[in-house]
Structure 1
Amino acid sequence: MNPSALPEFTIAYWCVLVAALLPFLCGLLAKRSGVGKRRADGGYDNHNPRAWLARQEGESARANAAQANGFEALPFFIGAVIIAHQLGAPQSRLDWLAVAFVALRVVYIGLYVGDKATARSLVWGLALAVNIAILFSGYR
């Protein structure tokens, strides 16, 4: 196959990769308070990580919740980007919307971990609206 005939890996596709990695960043944030401590002293328990995370409070618990929400938001974002590409959405619009979604998700994580509940919910709603805009960006 002619390499120039291959589809381009767009900015929106790169955003899918970044969005897929963000929950793992949240997981690292959630676990950092237990790193370097012995399990007997409340340190991170890699033998039973979900139970350990469930016992966490404050910033670690919020980072874990942000991780779960990141995984929950991911399928819609991936689907919206793929559908928009399939429908022939203007690439520059799709790329900008995808970057906006990822940027909003990064802000969302910061607000969640920082315990800014009202602002976090507003940013969550904006990210959802951007995701809907991505989905319909190729609609004719």
Structure 2
Amino acid sequence: MARFTVAHWCVLLAALLPFGCAALAKWPGVGKRRSEGGFDNAEPRAWLARQQGWQARANAAQANSFEALPFFIGAVVIAHQLGAHRTIVDILAVVFITLRIIYVAMYVADMPRTRSAIWFLALLVNVAILFSGWR
């Protein structure tokens, strides 16, 4: 019987992460009138493009989270298809998600060197997931 693994749940978390970044970027504008700089749901992308500081960085983290998603999904699927040891894939997937959350925090906190190092580590973990079933 097929069951969801921890890595599968991590795919769900990775898919939801960009929406968390978007909510973070929009949060200060929610509830304010558009005339007062509040969030404009009629033109959300234009409104987000005008944001500065940490809100702009949260929006950029959203875009990067979407960009990282296909490789992560593919790596998890391929690892499972190749019969990789489930515990290894699960641990690596949790490490990937943890690194991506730290990445978002470093992006919002304006720590570019640390952010880039975390991004690179997450990429390496993703490569490890992909090759975990290779024999």
TM-score (norm 2): 0.99
Q: Who is 2:98 aligned against?
A: 103
| Residue 37 of structure 1, CA deviation | 1.1
Q: Match of 2:42, SS? A: coil
Matches of 1:49 and 1:22, distance apart in 2: 18
Identity %: 66
In structure 1, list runs of 5 or more residues that go unmatched.
1-5
Matches of 2:12 and 2:30, distance apart in 1: 27
Paired residues, number: 135
- CA RMSD of superposed structures (Å): 0.5
Q: Who is 1:9 aligned against?
A: 4
Matches of 1:7 and 1:95, distance apart in 2: 15
Structure of larger gyration radius: 1
Matches of 1:59 and 1:45, distance apart in 2: 18
1:76 paired to 2:46: no
In structure 2, list runs of 5 or more residues that go unmatched.
none
Moved over 2 A (4+): none
Q: Who is 2:40 aligned against?
A: 45
C-alpha offsets along residues 36-74 of structure 1, whole Å, 9 cap, x if unaligned?
A: 211011100000000000000001100000000000000
Within a 5 Å distance, the mapping from 1:1-140 to structure 2 comes to 6-140=1-135
TM-score (norm 1): 0.95
